[in-house]
Chain A
Amino acid sequence: MELSLAWRLFKRELQQGQLLLIILAITLAVLSVSGLARVSERLQVAITGQASQFIAADRIIDSPVKIDAAILTKAEDLRLKHVTNMQFNSMVYSGDKFQLVTVRAVETGYPLKGDIELTSGKTKALPQAGEIWFETRLGGLLGYPKTIELGNSEFVLSNEISRLPDAGFNPFASSPVVLMRMEDVAKTGVIQPGSRVTYLYQFAGDEASLTAFEQSVKPLLNSTQRWVDVQSGDSPIAGAVKRAERFLLLASLMGIALACAAIGIAAQRYCQRHYDVVAMLKTFGASAKQIRLLFGTHLLLVTLMGIVLGLIGGVLLDLGISYLLPPEIAAYSPPLTRPLLLGVSTGLISAFMFSAYPLMRLLAIPPLRVLQRQLEGLQLGMWLHLLLSLGAMALLGYLYSQSWALTLTVVAAVLLLGVLLSVLGFVMIRLGHSVGMKTTNPLQLALAGLRRRARQNAVQLVGFSAALVLLLTILALRQDLLNEWQKQLPENAPNYFLVNIAPDDAKPLNDFMTAKGIVATDIYPVIRGRLTQINGEALISNEQSEAGEKGRVGISRELNLTWRNTLPANNELLEGHFNQAADEVSVESGVAERLGIAIGDKLTYVIDNQELTVKVASIRAVHWETLQPNFFMIFTEEALAPFAYTSMASFYLNDQQATNDQSTNDPATNGQALSADGTPKDAVILALIQQFPTISIIDVGAMVGQLRQIIEQVSLSLTLVLALVLLASALVLIAQTEAGMATRQRELAVLRTFGASGWLLRSATGLEFALLGGIAGVLAVIVAEFALYLLKTQVFELNVYMHWPWWGIAPVSGALIVALLGVWRCRQLLSQSCSELLKADS
């Protein structure tokens, strides 16, 4: 019986639109979770996939010696693909010319991710035995010979490489790269015991196998071996991916919190509407069990409908987004299990836990209410409601993020936000002007209403402000992240680096650039040196440390040192002052932390076999993800004056710019004929190579393009999440307005009965809601600025600043939106007759 009655109630209330709000709220929560889980999973895999092309694999073990064969067996057991590469430096000869090169010897299967970019296009092929593929600038340096000698063997130069997928960004890698087959290395005889070789073991496969592999293998590596993945910090994309992941997670959690708030408000309204029904049913003898079953089933039906609609919405959202995504990302379809399970559990948990308290109150309604309408029965403590709501939020947060730390932070923040807003809202309304019930002037009526309903209004303020706070926070974070990436890759980000510029070449190079209309960015002198002592204490090597020697472990390689009189633009001074006295040095914060270097420490370097001791004057933060030359140590010009140096510079050049070049008659550009595909840009670069054969040119254009593509995808996901948060906020605002109107209905009915005009009532309601929205806007900005300060400093490492325009925009738009919603609901109510209104209220 109860089931059929529950079904009938559900059907009827659905037909009459009574359940719209609560179903919408549940739908949105389910849609956010299932849709976002799938879309962000898709994007994450796509982004990681793109990013893994930067290392040509999913994971790499970088080792100076061959690794234990058991590790490779383990990889095979886990069905991971793997290839082994060797990298070493050697001289190559062509006639009387010779050049130091970086040799990359690879096996079949390389690259596991991405393609080798040749000047003639992308390829997955490799050099044949006896062949070498060479980097463009080697061709320039050696005069494009047909063959070269490497050790004891001669190789045919068969292809010109623009970029290896895992070339990375290292403007200091001054020697050009050549690619050869691993089998050919032995023939050359260049690898002897004690030769410096880097073995790169590259792995690729599914995420579960990679994780299992990482867990079993990583602990076995020694300190000379390095585990590398796309987020290791080497890749310029690592920072962007990490931040985007954090943002997606945070925004999704906020979206869920908002949808839950909407469910909470809607559930409260739903239960209040059924108070009389329960009283009547009890009067007619319904048992507690019958009523529990009736409303439990009714709520379950409402929840199931919300879940089904939410899941359908989630799938549609995913389909829509994949339509917008590039085909290679859209092609990847992650399994549906997780989003579906997440969606269903979100619907059930949010609907039942948020409506548990209102439902308990509903079930406790005494039958005597049929005679005494003010009776509401058991007044359970608000703490129970709070506990259940926060519990639900925590459970959902954990299910979604799998991180208790993040979940509890969000829950604590929501709790704090609620308390803060309640107190602030209540105080602000109490401080409001006290005016009696004057029914001639809408403003006075609005103010009187605001004050009379101080308690309910404080609750509504929490709803309105919370929706605005979360919206503003997500909006600001998204904008800041986009700006940060834009800064990392500005429109004219340098796509060429020039290294090894001899002091004698500086002037002619400058003339060449000026003639071509190219503006070079900062020029950095580069001097190589080794840090040997800190405060007179000698640094030891890794090997010495492992052998049990005591002391600070230093940096095992030579560093690129530079001098500058001013702090580089993309660096941030954390401590001290930038170089003033001649013997001062500025140290990068990461290296300072690792070596325990503090302001005032004396650092000793060996440069050209001479010792140089300087004092640490500042610690700098460096944004490594920017495609700019970055330095661990920056000296003063006086300190490095005695040492020989070369310089490096970077510039931006596109075909358009090269075509606009006015000096096309320059004999140097005749080199265009030498280029295989010969765009105007290539002609300029070739001319540069020919005129300055000792300067190395590094082309990072392809990398910039790839990076930009990844960032565009990440931006899309940020926008998508923002849209969902916007939707959730709107729903909270609507639900809150609906609840607010319910408390005003009786008053409206009475005033209407006494002849108050529709205009007066609409204006008064509009003004009251506008005041509420305005106050909510002010509160929201205050809390949002505070929340952003915490998030930017603790989570996202972004610059903190005040969003001054918001202080005007948020209250005004808050007032406008909430007022419009209020007037709209009021208009609906006032379209009914007085008796209908009073009847509906009674």
Chain B
Amino acid sequence: MSNVILKNSAINVVNLEKSVTTQEGTLTILKGINLDVKQGESVAILGPSGSGKSTLLGLLAALDTPTSGEIWLDGVALSPLNEEQKAALRKQKVSFIFQSFMLVDTLTALENVMLPAELAGVSNAKEKAQAMLVRVGLSHRLTHLPKQLSGGEQQRVAIARAFICEPTVLFADEPTGNLDSVNGHKIADMLFELNQESHTTLILVTHDLLLAKRCERQLVMDNGHLQEDTAHTAPLADAKEA
């Protein structure tokens, strides 16, 4: 992996470390991570539970601050930014899909999709949200509340929400983790379709080897280290275990 900052990178990470203080002492979760992700590229991060996948995702998405090292998101270095500036950056360039959907349970499907667009001050948020929901096949569910939707439908709403602002980078944390295999498959199809249509960079954290294989690159987190996965052995074992 490269230690050089590349100009056409969506994400560039150099010597990233993350440690936390616990009762037993300091625990280093991420050790010397270097990574470069090209614009429009799709990358899967695999690894066993507790290997630091979600920690890395949090850092890449500017949700957390590293102990040391540097991250460039679409060419912008994160370390000099304060929380407000990071939020502004996320608003412009980043979107998310979560395992637990993270929909606002008191808002309708349409209103949930509108949220990021409204935060970004998009004037025709409602029309765009409607179009997105039609695109994910939920035109008949616009006014439904999350609890009135199935798990698969909820994740489709979350996908519509993720793409409404046409993000540069999309982070997906176990997007099919809460779904059965049929629904999981459908959601994955939809995710990759939309990703290709919008040329979004996709960072996907998953246990699912088959899902990971649909990405252009597969990386494995193991004991705080990130490696290119060429043999598929480790993730396969993990997938079987899962």
Binding site for B on A (CB under 8 A): 1, 4-5, 8-9, 12-13, 16, 18, 276-277, 279-288, 290, 366-368, 370-372, 836, 839-840, 842
Contacts and interface: CB of A to CB of B under 8 A. Distances in A.
B45 to A, nearest CB: 13
A-B pairs, 7 with minimum CB distance: A285-B91, A285-B90, A284-B116, A12-B106, A368-B63, A367-B63, A371-B54
Given A1-B119, A371-B58, A285 B87 contact: yes
Contacts of A16: 106, 145
B102 A276 contact: yes
A372 B87 contact: no
Nearest to A279: B102
B84 interface: yes
Interface range on chain B (Cβ under 8 Å from partner): 35 or more
Interface of B: 54, 57-58, 61, 63-64, 83-84, 87-92, 94-96, 98, 100, 102, 104-108, 111, 115-116, 118-121, 145, 147, 173
Q: Which of A16, A18, A282, A285 has the most chain B CB atoms closer than 10 A to its own CB?
A: A285
A2 to B, nearest CB: 8
A288 B63 contact: no
B102 A280 contact: yes
Contacts, number: 82
A4 B125 CA distance: 12
Given A285-B89, A290-B119, 13 more contacts: A1-B121, A12-B106, A12-B111, A16-B145, A281-B119, A283-B63, A285-B90, A287-B88, A288-B84, A368-B63, A371-B54, A371-B173, A839-B147
A366 B94 CA distance: 17
Contacts of A4: 118
A113 B96 CA distance: 78
A15 to B, nearest CB: 8
Nearest to A369: B63
A836 B63 CA distance: 29
Contacts of A286: 87, 91, 119
A648 B92 CA distance: 97
A836 B147 contact: yes
A285 B57 contact: no
Contact of B90 (A12, A13, A283): A283
Contacts of B105: 840
Contact of B58 (A277, A285, A368): A368
A283 B145 CA distance: 21
A287 B106 CA distance: 21
Contacts of A839: 147
Nearest to B105: A840
Nearest to A366: B63
A371 B145 CA distance: 23
B106 A18 contact: yes
Given A18-B106, A368-B58, A285 B147 contact: no
Contacts of B61: 283
Contacts of B118: 1, 4-5
Contact of B94 (A285, A287, A372, A840): A285
B115 A285 contact: no
A150 to B, nearest CB: 86
A12 B88 contact: no
Contacts of A277: 104
Contact of B107 (A1, A8, A371): A8
A12 B92 CA distance: 28
Given A287-B84, A842-B100, A368 B64 contact: yes
B90 A284 contact: yes
A370 B90 CA distance: 14
11 contacts: A4-B118, A13-B106, A277-B104, A284-B115, A285-B92, A285-B116, A287-B87, A287-B91, A368-B58, A368-B64, A371-B98
B87 A282 contact: yes
Contacts of B95: 284
Contacts of A9: 104, 106-107
Contact of B119 (A13, A285, A366, A840): A285
Contact of A281 (B58, B98, B115): B115
A281 B58 CA distance: 15
A372 B29 CA distance: 14
A366 to B, nearest CB: 8
Contacts of A12: 106-108, 111
B96 A370 contact: yes
Contacts of A290: 119
A366 B64 CA distance: 9
Contacts of A366: 63
A4 B122 CA distance: 14
Contacts of A288: 83-84, 87
Q: Which of A13, A16, A284, A842 has the most chain B CB atoms closer than 10 A to its own CB?
A: A284
Given A281-B115, A283-B96, A290-B119, A372 B54 contact: yes
Contacts of B98: 370-371
A288 B64 CA distance: 16
A839 B178 CA distance: 11
Nearest to A10: B106
Given A1-B118, A371-B57, A285 B88 contact: yes
A159 to B, nearest CB: 77
A366 B86 CA distance: 12
Contacts of B121: 1
Given A368-B63, A371-B58, A836-B147, A284 B88 contact: no
Nearest to B123: A1
B90 A280 contact: no
A537 to B, nearest CB: 80
Nearest to B205: A371
A280 B104 contact: yes
A287 to B, nearest CB: 5
Nearest to B92: A285
A559 B242 CA distance: 101
A16 B121 CA distance: 27
B115 A371 contact: no
Nearest to A835: B151
A842 B173 CA distance: 16
Contacts of B84: 287-288
Q: Which of A282, A371, A372 has the most chain B CB atoms closer than 10 A to its own CB?
A: A371
A290 to B, nearest CB: 6
